[in-house]
Amino acid sequence: MIVAMTRKTPRWQDADPAHDREQRRYDTPAPSREFILKTLHDHGKPMSRQALLRHFDIREPEVEEGLQVRVAAMIRDGQLVENRRQALGIAERMDLVAGRVIGHRDGFGFVNPEAGGDDIFLSPRQMRALMHGDRVLVRVVKTDDRGRMEGSVVDVLERKTQELVGRYMHEHGVGFVIPDNTRITQDVVVADADRGDAEHGQIVTVELLEQPTKRTQPIGRIKQVLGNHMAPGMEIDIAVRSHGVPHEWPADVLKAVNGLDEQVPEAAKQGRTDLRQVPLVTIDGADARDFDDAVYAEKTRDGWKLLVAIADVSAYVKPDSALDAEAHNRATSVYFPGSVIPMLPEVLSNGLCSLNPEVDRLCMVCEMRVDEDGHVTRSKFYEAVMKSAARLIYDDVAAALDAPKKAPAKIKPLLPQLQALHSLFEALHGARKQRGAIDFESNETRIVFSDDRKIERVVPVVRNVAHKMIEECMIAANVQAAKKLEKAKIPTLFRVHDTPPTEKLADLRAFLAERGLGVGGGDKPEAHHFAQLIGELDGRDDQRLVQTVLLRSMSQAVYQPENKGHFGLALDSYGHFTSPIRRYPDLLVHRGLKHLLCQQPVSKFAYSLPQMEQLGAHCSANERRADEATRDVVDWLKCEFMRERVGEQFSGLIVSVTSFGLFVELDDIAVTGLVHVSHLSNDYYHFESKYHRLRGERSGQVFRLADRMQVKVVRVDLDERKIDFEPVGAGRKSKRR
C-alpha cells in the first residue's frame, strides 16, 4: 500500500543557525539577529514587521513580542532601517553608514564609521540637528575630486548628550547656556522658569529637555550651579562634566567598600608565596598618591633576577560585582594637575591596593631571569604577599646612584639592590637600542600651584635615570604577560601601536627629502629605521623639527585582542600588566593570568574574543576621553597663567603650522599660542602641508615648524582656551602710513 506523505514547511527554529544560543539565553527565544539579516538579504527588498511575522510563521504572543524588541534593538544599533512605509531594510544594502559624530568648533562635523574607513564630512546644515558624540546613520551623497566623502543624516540612532556644562548668559530677556565643549556649537535655550538660581555669567550644568533639530536650538533646564567663572578648581569641574567623566560613586559601590580598612585579612594571605622578607621597594614621583608597582633585583652568576610585584586588584574587584561594573565604566583614572579622579574608591586605590611601606599587601608577581645582554630568558607569574621596604622618590634614587657616599640613611641599606637595578637597566636599555625601539625626547610640563591654587610657574618634567630604570622593568613585565597569555590563547587586550599609516608616510618622506634625510623600510618601515634616523639628528639645528614630524606620523596606540605588536617599542607582543589600580585593561590581564594559574581550560575563561573586542574599544575610547579632559584643564590653567602677561614679550618655537597661522610654544613655560596669518608681514601666505610651512607669495619669506620666533601676548580667551600672539620684529605685519 502506498501512503501519501505531505511535506511540512521547515520551522524557523530549525533554519535559524543561532537558535541553540538563543535557547540558552532566553526562555522564549525569538529569531536571532543573524537570521533576520539573512532573511531580509534573501528576500531582496525591505519587509514590514507583519511580513516578517508571517514569513517566520510566528503565532505565540511571547515570541512576537521578542521579535519586535529585537527589531527595535537592530534599528537602534544601525543594522536595520525602517523607511517611510514602515518596511525594514538592511542598512549596509541601503548604502547607509553608522558612526559617531565628531563636532568641530566652526560648525561642521564628521562621522567616524563604526566599520572603519575614512571619516564622512557633515556640513553645518547637517550638524544643526546633531551634537558631538551622537550616533547616526548617514548616506554618502557626494565625493569630491580628492576622494573625500560628504554625508546626509538619515537617522539619529543615539543621543550622546543628555546634559552639559557651560556658562549661563541672560541677554535681552533671553537665557541661554554656552557649552564649554567647543565641539558643541549650539547654545542651549533656557526659559526663565527653568533657570533656578543661576545668575548671568555663572558656570552651570544644564539638562537637555529637547534635542536640537534642523530648525530649533536645544532647550534645557539648569540642573546645578557650579560657581563663578574664575573660582579655584572650576576648570576641573567643567572638564569632568563636559567630557562625561564619571566622578560620583554609585550607592552599590559605596556599599561594597563599606567596612573595608587598610589591613589585609589573614585568610586572604593563605596559599600565596611569602615575599615579606624580600626588600621590594616602590619608586615614584614625590607627588604620587597610589603605589601599584614594586621592584627588586639581585645580581646572579649569569645575569640578574628581577621581581616586579604589582598590586593584586583582582583579589578585591571580582567580575560582575558593583566594583567591577564601575571600574569598567570609568576604565581609567583621570589625572589632573594637583588632583585625580580614580578608577577605584580610595579605600582600594590609596589603601588595600596601594603598596605602602611596612604593611602587608597582596600582589601579583612577574619573576624574570635576565641575561647579560638584557634578554629575559625565563619568567613566571604567581600570587604573593609582600611588605614594601621603602617608598622611594625618583630624584633621591638618582642622586644616591650618582653619589652613593652621600645617600640618605633611608636609602643606604638598599643601595646594593638599587645598584643591581641600575646595572640591570643598562642591560635592558642596551637590548632596547639593539632591537631598534624609538626614543623621543619628552616635552611634558608640570604646573606648580601656590597654597590658594594660583599658578606660580609651569616647569618642564625632567626624566632621570630612576624614571628610566622603572620604565624598563615595567616594559619587561608587560612583555612577559602578553607572551604568556598569547601562548595560552587566552582572550586578552594587547597594547597595540600599529605601523604609521601609508598617507602619513608619504608626507613624511616628502618632508625628509627636502632636508636631505630619509627613512628606510619602503612602504613598511620598522622601528629601527626611525631610530636610526633619530640617531642621525644629533647636533643638527632641525633636530626638534624632524622629531616632531616623526612623532606626528605615528599611529595612536589602542587596546585590542588582535595582536599587531608595538611599533614604537619594537616589540612583537605587548600588554599592560603593571597598573591595575588605574587601568581596566591591566585588571583584565591579571584575570587572564590567574585563570592560567588555576589551570582552568581556555573555554572556561570569563571573557570571549568578541567581548574583548568590545572592551578594547571601550577602554581605548575612555583613555582618549581622559586625555581630552586633562588637556582641557591644562589649557585652561595655562590661559589663566597668561592672563596677567598680556603685552609681555617671549621667545619661542613654532610647534605647528596650519593654513591659518603658526602655533608657537614659549621657551621655559611650555605655553602655546597662535600667531594668526593676518599678523604676518604684508603678503599672501600659502600653506605647504607636506613641508609644514607657510610661504609668502611676494616676499618668499618662509615660516617653518621648529623655527624660532619672538612674540608678544596680545589676547587670552579663557572660555575658548585660546592665546593669541603677534610676532615681534621680523615677520610682523607692517602698518600702513
- Structure confidence by residue, pLDDT tens digits, 660-694: 999 998 987 878 999 999 888 778 899 988 778 89
Greatest Cα pair distance, the chain, in angstroms, is: 117
| pLDDT value of position 401 | 95
* Per-residue pLDDT at 310 exceeds 90: yes
| pLDDT value of position 60 | 87
Residue 1 binned pLDDT confidence (cut-offs 50, 70, 90)? very low
- Beta-strand ranges (E) seen in 216-359 are 219-227, 273-274, 281-284, 293-300, 303-311, 334-336, 339-341
Residue 579, CA distances (Å) to 50, 314, 477, 491, 497 in order: 53, 12, 11, 19, 18
Helix (H) or strand (E) holding 614: helix 609-642
* Per-residue pLDDT at 474 exceeds 80: yes
Bigger pLDDT: 22 or 119? 119
Summarised one tens digit per residue, pLDDT across range 99-145 is 899 999 889 999 988 777 788 999 999 999 999 989 888 888 888 76
* CATH class of the domain defined by 163-229: mainly beta
Task: Domain ranges for the chain, please list them.
Answer: 12-90, 95-158, 163-229, 251-492+577-626, 646-727
* Per-residue pLDDT at 301 exceeds 70: yes
Residue 508 binned pLDDT confidence (cut-offs 50, 70, 90)? confident
pLDDT average, residue stretch 710-715:
95
* Per-residue pLDDT at 585 exceeds 90: yes
How many whole angstroms separate alpha carbon 431 and alpha carbon 444?
A: 26
Summarised one tens digit per residue, pLDDT across range 38-90 is 888 887 778 888 888 888 888 888 888 888 888 888 877 777 877 667 788 78
Would you state the torsion angle of the CA atoms of residues 199, 201, 206, 209, taken in this order, to the nearest 10 degrees?
80
Helix (H) or strand (E) holding 712: strand 708-717
The DSSP bridge pattern shows strands 376-387 and 273-274 to be: parallel
Q: Listing from the earlier edge strand, what are the strands of the sheet with 390-393?
A: 273-274, 376-387, 360-371, 303-311, 293-300, 281-284, 390-393
CATH 2.70.98.10 fits 646-727, yes or no: no
How many whole angstroms separate alpha carbon 59 and alpha carbon 53?
A: 8
CATH 1.10.10 fits 12-90, yes or no: yes
* Per-residue pLDDT at 582 exceeds 90: yes
Q: Which residue carries 588605574 as its cell? A: 582
CATH topology of domain 95-158: OB fold (Dihydrolipoamide Acetyltransferase, E2P) (2.40.50)
Residue 451 binned pLDDT confidence (cut-offs 50, 70, 90)? confident
User: Is-same-fold flag (95-158; 646-727)?
Assistant: yes
Residue 446 binned pLDDT confidence (cut-offs 50, 70, 90)? confident
How long, in residues, is the chain? 737
